[in-house]
Amino acid sequence: MTDEWDVGRLDLGAYLRRIGHDADTAPTAKTLAALHRAHIDAIAFDNIDVVLGRGVAVDLDSVQAKLVQRRRGGYCYEHGVLFGAALQRLGYSVTRLLARVGGDGAHARARTHMTLRVETEAESWLADVGFGSGLLEPLPFAAGSPRTQGGWTYELARTGPRSWAVRERHGDDWVTLYGFDDEPQHAADVVMSNHFTSTFPTSPFVGQLIVVRKDDDSIRRLVGRRLVHVRPDLPTEERDLSDSEVADALRDVFGVTLASEELAELMAALPPG
């Protein structure tokens, strides 16, 4: 049977070098957590190509050319396609899933986020390297088991027979980041969801720059020209950036280096500073 995700086309060695992982690659829960963190540390979340009107291709060849060879960032579908392929090549069983962001409102949103179910030797895990401000490590498919990851606490809550929600603790409350049905998706489903997310006029990723890096201690977001720094139990810091400061932040804070012509094009697409 043809592999619809084309995982055999992945340059696994180049990917592992890109994320700086030179440790054990046996398909265990420990390795999965290490790979998850390494990927997030190395590859930023960004929607720059959407803002530039280039669109986003989610076939594996295009994704690895961009995120691995050109050392760029990407958004959820790109991260999910790449990470899923790498995990499969390493011997994990991987199921691609599509999720609805939010979930605390009155009406269900479209499925606009890609995440992964990964099987290890004894457990199933939700792995998600493409949410930007989400998980640092995978969560086990076990309801009622909160996990602290650095300064952040998450849980995977069952909301139906095959439905789950990823929740983050905010003070005394749990806030839903996204919900999903544990239902395998096809590559064609991801293509359609990506097309909607990257082109629909009211999509949050259309017409607005979003770049994110997260670690144990902080989340840094660049939304348009506004740089936001969030840390647990500390006031949020925000400020607007000039053109030169945007370029510096992309390079020094988010690890995103653009060619001079790309940077000029991006600055022209942003609201005036």
List the catalytic residues.
76, 113, 128
Distance CA 273, CA 196 (A): 29
How many Å apart are CA 100 and CA 262, to the nearest integer?
32
In b/e form, how buried is each residue of 95-131, taking b as 16+ CB within 10 angstroms? ebbbbbbbbeeeeeeebbbbbbbbbbeeeebbbbbbb
- Residue 254 tokens read as 């988010």
**What token pair was written down for 74?**
């990407």
Burial class (CB in 10 A: 0-12, 13-18, 19+), 30: exposed
Pair of tokens at residue 77:
């579908």
For residue 60, the SS3 value is helix
What is the rounded CA–CA span in Å between residue 220 and residue 237?
Answer: 10
